[in-house]
């Protein structure tokens, strides 16, 4: 089992998201995350899909996606140089001035932004890779037990222009 | 000139050369039916239930090679299609199903007879779409027919809201269409074919395994030529039966859990398995680890997703069967595999598919069908009747067998025969069904009568849902749980053996046929089989029901028990070879 990434170009039509999501649920494929949005061509939507599977299943997933009528192109991003970011908001309940100060320190070290705060809460915006976001969530969960609220958007990815590593 | 959506719908059907439309009206389809009123070029057929309707369109499509077209109303009209859509799509049958829908502004309001049929059918069809703008109507219909019949054929659902049907707009219908996200494969990769040929040429024990893809591609003649050119024996799946004539001396039989001993043994012993148009379904492979364990496997299929899914193959070729076989015919050469062919033929002679000689048996019925009909379509239902037919029916270029192979839909056989007869009025059309399956769509007797379709309906009546009963007998300690069709409340619980005191069968199929205006003949003795068919052949205006009273506990043999390897089959009851 291995983490994989797929970039999917589809017709921007009603029901396409349901078709793709339904393919994963109907055939028991693991879907970790899926993001979708329009592209420079308003008739085309682009999805970034994160999933975990073995090699054989992954081959089958790519084929099944390809044979869906609305799918224009399937690109395997698993081992290609890409830039990938995920947006994550974390709202942390603070009990003291020290909590607030600690969150500002964390934001500095982790390279994320405090975009809003008052005396009772701090809101962090983390635009990083999924793994880095997992790390910061783990830290905040340890330090602020039962005091965090999380919303994450799923990853978006684009092929790199010049770099060879991810 | 502007025309309504409904008028454009009729125009589109004509442009697509639709001459037969299977249609059942309703509130949200009434405008479409109004546009069809008095239409001379399209024969509008009204079955008695939408499930019968869609199976009829399926039988029409399979037997003519044309796209089958359905028209039903919204809500229950649409949901009644669901089983038939899955049946057709699973067997790669091209259908376009038009469903009425509530007006666009009411969609989502839980309006009367509103269902999300596109959502419901999404996972069981090739493509489904709701037309939301009148200006998209022509292109969507064009797209539907194109998608249904090209590539791996399948079912397309087109949902037509009532206001789209009524709205005026352009009357233009496109001649051609190009879909950027859908480009079916039309070529054959020469390099892969060369690799396949190279492996085949070095084989000592090769077999062709042919699936439904060859029949769908109408490549039967080419397949026979390929077998004759190479001298390689041919094995088929149930769906591939008829790819070469069953009487051909290179034809070995069906593979699978009810396949022939010779076919299953050849698969287990071969060194090269050259497969075309099959998806290696679990019903044909048996225990997957031992399937063709010593063979190099070549797999030609139009659907890339079918390749290396169940069985890992050595040479994959994504191509249409007919095109691929044509290329193979240019490159293949005769092989020196006579020892192997002799071996396989010996298996076939030593362990023929057969059945006990006592009484009225399904084999005797099928022997008569084989002898009496030369230009015919034979449809089956699902269960023992189907398996016996796939074992004993002879098929060639003039005789075709239609069966629900993938989904295994009881109730398929009779309505499919109605479609086949409408599409092939000059051919004899015979249904082989069981007492269970026929009752799932028996209302279509009215359809066959009113359209004067002289179909011969053979009901093999054993008073059981026989295939499940057979499994209960063999693998579930004779727990005949909910499989007896003669059961009545008075029987009490837990029967495991039929006896002379079992209640009468209901319904009386002969009186039922009579009340529909069809003919009914009951046959209990083998010597009466032929006479019954002779009488049926004389009924040129009405269908004939022939009810064959067969032994209640007759089994389909041989059988590969669940989880076993293909080579590990039970040939006869009480005897376990291997």
pLDDT in tens, B381-404: 999 999 999 999 999 999 999 999
pLDDT in tens, A108-134: 999 999 999 999 999 999 999 999 999
* Neighboring chain B residues of A71 at a CB cutoff of 8 Å: 181
Instruction: State yes or no: pLDDT of B577 exceeds 50.
Output: no
Identify the pLDDT of residue B576: 41
**pLDDT greater than 50 at residue B158:** yes
CB contact under 8 A, A69 and B179: yes
Classify burial at B205, counting beta carbons within 10 Å of its beta carbon; exposed 0-12, middle 13-18, buried 19 or more: buried
Mean pLDDT (chain B) is 96
Cβ–Cβ gap A69/B132 under 8 Å: no
Chain A residues with CB-CB distance to B126 below 8 A: 69
- Sequence-ordered list of residues with C-beta below 8 angstroms from that of B574, at least 6 positions apart, any chain: none
Give chain B's count of helices (H) and strands (E). Answer: 22, 22
Burial class (CB in 10 A: 0-12, 13-18, 19+), B17: exposed
Q: What is the pLDDT of residue B122?
A: 96
Q: What is the pLDDT of residues B516-534, one digit of tens each?
A: 999 999 999 999 999 999 9
Residue B180 contacts A, CB cutoff 8 Å: yes
Contact flag A69-B304 (C-beta cutoff 8 Å) = no
CATH C-level class of A82-159: alpha beta
Residue of B nearest to A69 (CA): B182
Residue B357 pLDDT = 83
- What pLDDT, on the 0 to 100 scale, is given for residue B572? 81
Q: Which residue of B has its CA nearest to A58?
A: B309
Percent of the residues in chain B that have a pLDDT greater than 90, as a whole number: 94
Q: Could you read off the pLDDT of A56-115 as tens digits, one per residue?
A: 999 999 999 999 999 999 999 999 999 999 999 999 999 999 999 999 999 999 999 999
pTM for the model stands at: 0.96
pLDDT one-digit tens code per residue, B110-145: 999 999 999 999 999 999 999 999 999 999 999 999
Q: Which residues of chain A have a CB within 8 Å of the CB of B180?
A: 72
Confidence band of A164 (pLDDT split at 50, 70, 90): low
Enumerate the residues of chain B whose CB falls inside 8 A of the CB of residue A66: 304-305
Average confidence (pLDDT) over B75-80: 98
Put simply, whether A102 touches B (Cβ < 8 Å) is no
Domain ranges of chain A: 2-76, 82-159
Q: Evaluate if residue A162 carries a pLDDT over 90.
A: no
CB contact under 8 A, A69 and B181: yes
Report H helices in B293-375: 321-331, 338-350, 362-372
- Residue numbers of B between 345 and 384 with CB closer than 8 Å to A: none
pLDDT at B356: 86
Strand order from edge to edge, sheet including A113-117: A113-117, A121-128, A82-93, A148-159
B457 pLDDT more than 80: yes
Give the pLDDT score at B578.
36
Compare CB distances from B309 to A22, A60, A66 and report the shortest one's residue: A60
Contacts of A10 in chain B (CB under 8 A): 181
Give per-residue pLDDT as tens, B329-366.
Answer: 999 999 999 999 999 999 999 999 989 889 999 999 99
Question: Cα distance from B554 to chain A (closest Cα, Å)?
Answer: 37
Using DSSP's 3-state secondary structure scheme, residue B159 falls into strand
Residue A135 at interface with chain B, using a CB cutoff of 8 Å? no
Please, where are the H alpha helices in B37-73? 50-64
pLDDT band at B575 (very low <50, low <70, confident <90, very high): very low
* Selected residue of A69, A70, A72, A73 to mutate for chain B interface (largest B Cβ count, 10 A): A69
Report, as an integer, the average pLDDT of A26-34.
Answer: 95
> SS3 for B4-41, per residue?
EHHHHHHHHHHHCCCCEEEECCCHHHHHHHHHHCCCCC
Reply yes or no on domain A2-76 having CATH 1.10.10.60: no
Instruction: Tell me, yes or no, if A44 comes closer than 8 A to chain B by beta carbon.
Output: no
* Digit-coded pLDDT (tens) for B221-250: 999 999 999 999 999 999 999 999 999 999
Determine the distance in angstroms separating the CA of A85 from the nearest CA of chain B, rounded to an integer: 27
pLDDT tens across B538-556, in order? 999 999 999 999 999 999 9
Q: No. of H helices and E strands in chain A?
A: 4, 8
Residue B574: predicted pLDDT: 53
pLDDT of residue B1: 85
Structural domains for chain B: 3-169 (3.40.50.970), 190-350 (3.40.50.1220), 362-549 (3.40.50.970)
A10 touches chain B (CB under 8 A): yes
Does the CB of B303 have a partner CB in chain A at under 8 Å?
yes
pLDDT for the residue numbered A166: 58
The two domains A2-76 and A82-159 share their CATH topology (first three levels equal): yes
- With a cut of 0.90, is the ipTM above it? yes
């Amino acid at each position: 089992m291995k983490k994989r990434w797929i970039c999917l170009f589809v017709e921007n039509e009603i029901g396409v998201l349901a078709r793709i999501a339904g393919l994963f649920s109907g055939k028991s494929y693991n879907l970790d995350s899926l993001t979708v949005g329009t592209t420079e061509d308003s008739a085309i939507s682009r999805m970034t899909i994160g999933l975990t599977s073995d090699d054989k299943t992954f081959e089958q997933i790519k084929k099944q996606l390809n044979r869906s009528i609305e799918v224009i192109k399937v690109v395997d991003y698993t081992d290609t140089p890409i830039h990938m970011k995920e947006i994550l908001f974390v709202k942390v309940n603070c009990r003291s001035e020290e909590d607030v100060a600690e969150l500002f320190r964390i934001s500095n070290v982790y390279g994320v932004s405090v975009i809003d705060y008052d005396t009772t809460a701090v809101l962090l915006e983390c635009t990083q890779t999924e793994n880095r976001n997992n790390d910061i969530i783990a830290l905040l969960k340890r330090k602020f037990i039962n005091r965090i609220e999380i919303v994450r958007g799923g990853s978006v990815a684009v092929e790199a222009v010049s770099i060879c590593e991810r | 000139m502007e025309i309504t959506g409904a008028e454009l719908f009729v125009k589109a059907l004509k442009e697509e050369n639709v001459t037969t439309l299977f249609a059942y009206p309703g509130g949200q389809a009434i405008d479409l039916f109004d546009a069809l009123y008095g239409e001379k070029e399209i024969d509008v057929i009204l079955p008695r239930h939408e499930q019968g309707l869609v199976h009829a369109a399926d039988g029409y499509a399979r037997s003519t090679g044309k796209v089958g077209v359905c028209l039903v109303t919204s809500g229950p009209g649409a949901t009644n299609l669901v089983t038939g859509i899955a049946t057709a799509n699973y067997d790669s049958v091209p259908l376009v199903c038009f469903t009425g829908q509530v007006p666009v502004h009411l969609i989502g309001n839980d309006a009367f007879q509103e269902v999300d049929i596109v959502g419901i059918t999404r996972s069981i069809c090739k493509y489904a779409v709701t037309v939301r703008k009148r200006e998209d109507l022509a292109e969507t219909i064009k797209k539907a027919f194109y998608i249904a019949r090209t590539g791996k054929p399948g079912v397309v659902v087109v949902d037509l809201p009532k206001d789209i049907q009524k709205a005026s707009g352009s009357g233009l219908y496109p001649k051609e269409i190009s879909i950027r996200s859908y480009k079916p494969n039309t070529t054959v990769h020469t390099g892969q074919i060369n690799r396949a040929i190279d492996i085949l040429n070095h084989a000592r024990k090769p077999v062709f395994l042919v699936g439904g893809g060859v029949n769908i591609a109408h490549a039967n003649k080419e397949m026979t030529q390929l077998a004759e050119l190479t001298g390689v024996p041919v094995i088929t799946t149930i769906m591939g039966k008829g790819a070469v004539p069953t009487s051909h001396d290179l034809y070995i039989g069906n593979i699978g859990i009810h396949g022939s001993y010779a076919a299953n043994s050849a698969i287990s012993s071969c060194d090269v398995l050259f497969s075309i148009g099959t998806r290696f379904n679990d019903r044909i492979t048996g225990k997957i680890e031992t399937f063709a364990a010593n063979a190099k496997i070549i797999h030609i299929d139009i659907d890339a997703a079918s390749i290396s899914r169940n069985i890992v193959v050595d040479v994959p070729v994504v191509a249409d069967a007919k095109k691929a076989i044509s290329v193979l015919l240019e490159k293949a050469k005769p092989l020196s595999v006579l020892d192997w062919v002799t071996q396989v033929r010996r298996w076939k002679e030593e362990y023929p598919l057969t059945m006990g000689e006592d009484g009225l048996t399904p084999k005797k019925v099928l022997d008569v069908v084989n002898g009496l009909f030369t230009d015919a379509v034979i449809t089956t239902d699902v269960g023992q009747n189907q398996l016996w037919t796939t074992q004993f029916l002879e098929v060639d270029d003039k005789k075709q067998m239609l069966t629900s192979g993938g989904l295994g839909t009881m109730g398929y056989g009779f309505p499919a025969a109605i479609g086949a007869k409408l599409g092939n009025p000059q051919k004899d059309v015979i249904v082989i069904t069981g007492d269970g399956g026929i009752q799932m769509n028996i209302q279509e007797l009215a359809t066959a009568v009113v359209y004067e379709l002289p179909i011969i309906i053979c009901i093999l009546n054993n008073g059981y849902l026989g295939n499940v009963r057979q499994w209960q007998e063999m693998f579930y300690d004779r727990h005949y749980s909910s499989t007896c069709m003669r059961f009545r409340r008075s029987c009490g619980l837990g029967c495991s053996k039929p006896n002379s005191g079992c209640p009468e069968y209901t319904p009386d199929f002969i009186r039922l046929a009579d009340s529909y205006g069809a003919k009914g003949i009951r046959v209990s003795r083998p010597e009466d089989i032929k006479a019954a068919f002779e009488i049926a052949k004389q009924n040129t205006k009405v269908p004939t029901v022939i009810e064959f009273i067969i032994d209640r506990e007759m089994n389909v043999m041989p059988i590969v028990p669940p989880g076993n390897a293909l080579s590990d089959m039970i040939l006869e009851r009480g005897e376990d070879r291997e």
